[in-house]
Chain A
Amino acid sequence: DTGVSQNPRHKITKRGQNVTFRCDPISEHNRLYWYRQTLGQGPEFLTYFQNEAQLEKSRLLSDRFSAERPKGSFSTLEIQRTEQGDSAMYLCASSKKETSLGNIQYFGAGTRLSVL
């Protein structure tokens, strides 16, 4: 079990550029989640997948954001026409289907995005 892996760890981009982040979940986990964390705040839910199906999207996820999980394994989060307000830490988490112990999500180290 290598944990949840996110790449890149840091991304610096200019306003208006597109960026894409990747998340590799724990191998046997069928659920995958994306969160955004700004400085001094807790993570905020963006979206989640069960296998390849995207089942819920937060209203925080504007039209410039798109997430995919094409084969039910890794996922990508793309932000088009980045804005300075997109600067944040983007966290990925994964979990198994609901168990009696509650929905325990395991988090990656995150991708820190800085939009100049």
Chain B
Amino acid sequence: GDSVTQMEGPVTLSEEAFLTINCTYTATGYPSLFWYVQYPGEGLQLLLKATKADDKGSNKGFEATYRKETTSFHLEKGSVQVSDSAVYFCALTSDQKVTFGTGTKLQVIP
């Protein structure tokens, strides 16, 4: 079945540091890939998406590129802010349901 593997957290960074959260996937067919973010006490919010190989999703300074050859979709941001502290979920859809990774908690300290 489909699966998503992402790096374990928590990840603690200083403000303005570079962020990478690794994500790899296993899926049949050609999935769409997503990053969702969950702020404390809130629901999941779609952060960015990519629907085919070599697509780059971007939003709020975050980027991720759909790499079919390495089955990866790593999340990056050049300069994190305290307000980016949240749990980040890598996910895919290849049919009607979303398959999520276990989440990576990011803590940004001033």
Number of interface residues of A (CB under 8 A): 27
Annotate B19-37 by CB proximity to A: 1 below 8 A, 0 otherwise. 0000000000000101010
A91 & B44 in contact (Cβ 8 Å cutoff) = yes
- A43-B44 contact given A48-B96, A101-B51, CB 8 Å threshold: yes
Task: Check if B60 is an interface residue, CB within 8 A of chain A.
Answer: no
B89 & A104 in contact (Cβ 8 Å cutoff) = no
In the bound complex, residues from chain A placing their C-beta under 8 Å from that of B102 are 40-42
B93 & A102 in contact (Cβ 8 Å cutoff) = yes
The CA-CA distance from A106 to B98 in the complex, in Å, is 11
The minimal Cβ–Cβ distance linking B79 to chain A, given in whole angstroms, is 27
State the majority secondary structure of interface residues on B.
strand
- A45-B43 contact given A101-B49, A101-B51, A102-B49, CB 8 Å threshold: no
The CA-CA distance from A91 to B100 in the complex, in Å, is 13
Most buried by A among B43, B45, B102: B43
In the bound complex, residues from chain A placing their C-beta under 8 Å from that of B98 are 33, 35, 43, 45, 93, 103, 105
A107 & B96 in contact (Cβ 8 Å cutoff) = no
The CA-CA distance from A41 to B98 in the complex, in Å, is 14
Task: Check if B69 is an interface residue, CB within 8 A of chain A.
Answer: no
The CA-CA distance from A105 to B16 in the complex, in Å, is 31
Which 8 A-B pairs rank lowest in CB-CB distance, beginning with the nearest?
A: A102-B32, A42-B100, A45-B97, A109-B43, A107-B44, A102-B51, A107-B43, A103-B93
Partner-B contacts on A (CB < 8 A): 4, 31, 33, 35, 40-45, 48, 55-56, 58, 91, 93, 100-110
Could you jot down 16 A-B contacts, CB within 8 Å?
A4-B43, A33-B98, A41-B103, A42-B102, A43-B100, A45-B98, A45-B99, A48-B96, A91-B43, A93-B98, A100-B51, A102-B51, A107-B44, A108-B43, A109-B41, A109-B43
Taking A33-B97, A101-B32 as known contacts, 9 extra A-B pairs with beta carbons closer than 8 A to each other, sorted by chain A number, are A31-B96, A42-B101, A42-B103, A56-B96, A58-B97, A102-B32, A107-B36, A107-B44, A109-B42
